[in-house]
Amino acid sequence: MVVGAGVSGLTTAICLAEAGSPVRVWAAEPPAQTTSIVAGALWGPAFQEPASQTLAWMAQSLRDFQELARVAGTGVRLAPVLAVGELANVDELPPQADLVPGLRRCAPSQLPPGFTHGFRATMPLIDMPRYLEYLLNRLSAAGGEIEIRPVESLTEAAEVAPIVVNCTGLGARELVGDDTLQPMFGQHVVLSNPGLDQVFVEVTEAEEWTCFFSASPAGGLRWHPGAGPLGPHTRPGCDRADSAAMPDDRAASCRRRGPRDRHRPAPRPPRGAARGRAPGPGTLRA
Ligand SMILES: Cc1cc2nc3c(=O)[nH]c(=O)nc-3n(C[C@H](O)[C@H](O)[C@H](O)COP(=O)(O)OP(=O)(O)OC[C@H]3O[C@@H](n4cnc5c(N)ncnc54)[C@H](O)[C@@H]3O)c2cc1C
């Protein structure tokens, strides 16, 4: 039994179902209403400990997404990325940087005004609405089933299945009383895309930052202005992209489309520790 139908729950359920286990998914909300659907979503370095494990996970997920980018209909592609910002220790990059494909420093002339450091790379970019649809189809083909059903305790799930995997995202805060999970709010604005291909990511220790994700012509340009830990907030002028941050003149012509901006909390685990734990048989832990 997998509890949760965001990207973690669907991926877990697919791995189990394709390995031959009968799998059910219980979720309070369907994939289209999860945090997962509004993610940018860029594969990127993870800095959680233990680094020996998280580096291996990073490398594996990079291989998986590179392979998915070769399969039609997954919503995954390899995109040019420009990451700029106040990067501490730019001369001494962490070991995670070695895994980022094609990572190279920008020449000063390649940087937008106001930024002193930047890197270019080629990273997997995932159009989440399409990717979640792909995962749903793949789960269904492997025999997995989803039921919309909120659970009040993991014991409820353990009564019907010998193994329960908790993939409830931020819901785990209430479900297992884990106060260390902190919401981190992001503003998500879908804009028309006049042909921008590059992903723009601001890397900073500041409380707010901006990203542009050029999902696909159909998916538009996904703009995340003012993402940060403080709580929901709206930047004025969200009808137009903040072209000052985007080093491409065409950004000024982007216009908001679709429904109103959505504020979505994303789980924010403590930076120091990975959250996956496998309890011994017969125990119920999350
Ligand atoms: C604006 C924004 C941009 C982001 N960009 C990126 C990015 O570029 N790259 C990246 O890696 N990450 C990004 N993230 C973070 C990413 O979206 C999340 O880490 C990820 O989607 C979490 O997925 P999940 O499956 O763990 O949780 P969720 O997507 O939150 O799914 C949780 C599931 O559990 C269910 N659930 C919760 N409680 C219960 C309960 N009691 N009973 C039953 N079901 C329950 C929910 O209904 C849902 O189905 C971004 C997030 C935001 C908000």
Atom of ligand 1 nearest to the CA of 168: 34
The pTM of the full predicted model, rounded to 2 decimals, is 0.87
**Are 138 and 33 contacting, i.e. CB atoms less than 8 angstroms apart?**
no
Q: Is the CB of 41 under 6 A from ligand 1?
A: yes
* Distance from Cα 8 to the centre of ligand 1, integer Å: 8
How many Cα atoms within 13 Å fall on the side-chain side of residue 146? 23
Query: What is the per-residue pLDDT for 269?
Result: 47
- Average pLDDT (234-248) is 52
**Vertex 272 angle, CA 36 and 206, to 5°:** 70
Interatomic CA distance for residues 245 and 200, integer angstroms? 9
* Distance from Cα 142 to the centre of ligand 1, integer Å: 23
Higher-pLDDT residue of 190, 206: 190
pLDDT digits (tens, 9 = 90+) for 124-138: 999 999 999 999 999
